[in-house]
A and B are shown apart, each in its own frame.
Chain A
């Protein structure tokens, strides 16, 4: 037991406990904040595996961008906290899903040689540059899957915008071009006394 092992158990127990309470909690905002905690601790796990690039990107992308949007939507919608929902149907589904997931994890961990399948030699070098290596393999060996992922994300963005573009415009919007072109003549009309 060295200090890294203690840290590992601390971090994993935080992850497990907060994922459990994430499912149980009624308050959606609290649940989203627990998800932030889980992501943060997962980033620490990755840091301990010397994957500093992935850890920082996890914090940057998931915590810094995706979950902010989650929280944003949850807070704007103001979902009422439900107290007594009938839980029998939920129970059935959740128990089934957890049994399946447990079985899968069990098979992966105990029937598959986990340690042997992890390559070890690469990151032992002292001057190993995580970011560089990931960039190299992303843009050489995995360039097609990388580009396809980017394309799918782009399609998703365009689809989201397209859905929102349909229908009439409900909000009043300022046209900045028109605003700039306004001058004194178009706004002010001087009426002399004798005209009245």
Chain B
């Protein structure tokens, strides 16, 4: 008996050694999650403020200085609201749907490189992993729509699902263009081949694919002008019509996290991630002895701040699009996705293939 216990004690220590990397990984995950959640909170605030100023209104300005505490007030309000579960709904799936959406929205961040060294999991098939994770987001929507036992929710879920399937193909094809140039599925490698100045980034040789990628990204996140899944004038609120309180809040957070993810990916794949738009060598050698030029040089050099600036720009574009365009009709969205975007990407992949085959310079690395 005592032998048994001692043997198992040994085993315990073996496990303990294997588990000792766990706190480290958990800490890194927290370091990504917490800033992301804060960013989501202030993204909603920024959206309301920016759209308000575009429409000549004030936006939230009561809670805290300049309304800066508004997201937290909203969060607290949603947290204390009653969670209502519709009659004859599937309770387990109804509660599972927001969890799936939330998990998938944040799981994709595991492979995002913030810097040349700052990455949680530097896996070889990083881009495929991200495609897989974003394609899983649809389950949260479908399950939410079905489990709610509501016609509006089901219709919204179906619309959203067909929209995501249609635009995922265009998105995947535009990523094929990126893979063809970089010759790698690793996000760090894809950024590294864009080294140089702003003209070495992939947006220039792959301009049509960049535009299509961003359009498909907006559609994938169910944002305006592709927000037929919500379509408040027809479907009340689409798939999350029956959700109240925290259930709704979780869907909301996941949607914004997905928007930030698409912005970050656009920055990484087409705009050189953490790379600086200027090449430091091209600026010539200037005196680096005073304090100011040190700061200037740090800012000009590659670093996470460039990645953040680029991501923020595309996040702004999401809001800009929402304030500018009216909602597409459902059949128009399908037509745009299947008959315009997918053929353009196919033709561009073919053209790019020829350019690489004949070793034309910016495409053939």
Minimum CB–CB distance from B211 to chain A (whole Å) comes to 20
Bound-state Cα–Cα, A36 to B139, Å: 10
> Which of B73-81, B124-132, B289-297, B351-359 forms part of the interface with chain A?
B124-132
Chain B residues contacting A63 (CB-CB under 8 Å) are 132, 135-136
Q: Is the CB of B125 within 8 A of A52?
A: yes
Q: Is the CB of B124 within 8 A of A52?
A: yes
The tally of residues in A whose CB lies under 8 Å from a CB in B reads 27
Q: Is the CB of B18 within 8 A of A76?
A: no
> Which of A67-75, A136-144, A187-195 forms part of the interface with chain B?
A67-75
| Contact residue among B131, B142, B185 (Cβ-Cβ distance under 8 Å from A68) | B142
Classify the secondary structure of A's interface with B: helix
Chain B interface residue bracket vs A = 20 to 34
Chain A residues contacting B14 (CB-CB under 8 Å) are 2
Binary CB contact string for chain B from 118 to 144 against chain A (1 if under 8 A, 0 otherwise): 000001110011011001101100110
Bound-state Cα–Cα, A3 to B157, Å: 40
Minimum CB–CB distance from B78 to chain A (whole Å) comes to 27
- Identify the closest chain A residue to B146 (Cβ): A75
Which residues from chain A sit less than 8 Å from chain B, CB to CB? Answer: 1-3, 29, 33, 36, 52-53, 56-57, 59-60, 63-65, 68-69, 71-72, 75-76, 129-131, 173-174, 176
30 A-B pairs whose Cβ atoms sit less than 8 Å apart in the complex: A1-B11, A2-B14, A33-B93, A36-B139, A52-B123, A52-B124, A53-B125, A53-B128, A56-B125, A57-B132, A64-B131, A64-B132, A64-B135, A64-B136, A64-B138, A65-B165, A65-B168, A68-B138, A68-B142, A72-B158, A72-B162, A75-B142, A75-B146, A75-B158, A130-B125, A131-B185, A173-B331, A174-B331, A176-B332, A176-B335
Which residues from chain B sit less than 8 Å from chain A, CB to CB? Answer: 11, 14-15, 18-19, 93, 123-125, 128-129, 131-132, 135-136, 138-139, 142-143, 145-146, 154, 157-158, 161-162, 165, 168, 185, 331-332, 335
